[in-house]
Amino acid sequence: MSNQLTFESLSITYGHGASAFTAVDGVDLTLRAGEVLGLVGESGSGKSTIARAAVGLAEPSGGRILLGDTEISHARGAVLRERRRVQMIFQDPQSCFNPRRSIGQSLDEALIAAHRREGTSTPQLRARKDEIANLLRAVALPAETALRMPAQLSGGQRQRVAVARAIAAKPAVILADEITSALDVSVQGSVLNLLKELQRELGFSMLFISHNLAVVRIVCDRVAVMRSGALVEVGDTVDVMTAPTHDYTRELIAAVPSL
């Protein structure tokens, strides 16, 4: 299986001198083509920072990030366009949408950014409108959702739109950062099932960031465990969950409530 997204000796430090704080410390991690890799650890362990670096929202202070064979750590020009094949879905979809723009306008912006389809002729506008309708249907929302504002949607609906916006770019990789933690338990499962179905259908790789090991056990092929900015264990989900090798991993698993 080929490598899709690779972090090589990745370090991310904020601040300078005595006030410097290392959020990610020399992480080596590979997301393979077509897999779902869980990234787990307590809050502040560096999980989200790694994902943010992959989409250009955090600047590496050392190491590099590769998409296939292309380095995307400090993307410019054509490489910046290549990095758009890595899409991130955030924990709070409400904060990711412009409250003054309709859902259709937000998805239209995503299509234009990903594919440079900014034409304003009647056929071009109609084609994008059809694409937006197809994206909404792909996440089990009616096409009429395009006319609504973010505040008019439930949290689960907004997260589905966030998924639609991510797949608009036809991504090779999706980074899902705690995407169900802000949702009611009643809708978490449906969003996770949707994402897994789309992953199987579209073939993207997924880095699934979560503190919920019960969910990770179900969703992920492999698991990577972080603590204090460092990677402490990586392995197949079954192996890590049943026979962890690191004390910290054992602590995390022991803390999972059993019913």
CA–CA dist 60, 182 (Å, integer): 28
* Neighbour-count burial for 79-99, b at 16+ CB within 10 Å, e otherwise: eeebbbbbbbbbbebeebbee
Confirm if 86 and 31 have CB atoms less than 8 A apart: no
What φ, ψ does residue 237 adopt, rounded to 5°? -55, -45
How far apart are alpha carbons 182 and 46 in whole angstroms? 19
Residue 66: pLDDT band with limits 50, 70, 90: very high
pTM of the model: 0.91
Q: Which of 59-68, 75-84, 204-213 has the lowest mean pLDDT?
A: 75-84
CB 34 within 8 A of CB 1: yes
The pLDDT assigned to 120 comes to 67
Token digits of residue 48: 């989200």
Which tens digit of pLDDT belongs to each residue from 175-201?
999 998 878 887 888 989 999 999 999
pLDDT, the chain, mean: 90
pLDDT in tens, 126-164: 888 999 999 999 999 999 999 999 999 998 999 999 999
Domains, the chain, in order of start with CATH, read: 3-254 (3.40.50.300)
Residue 139 is predicted with a pLDDT of 96
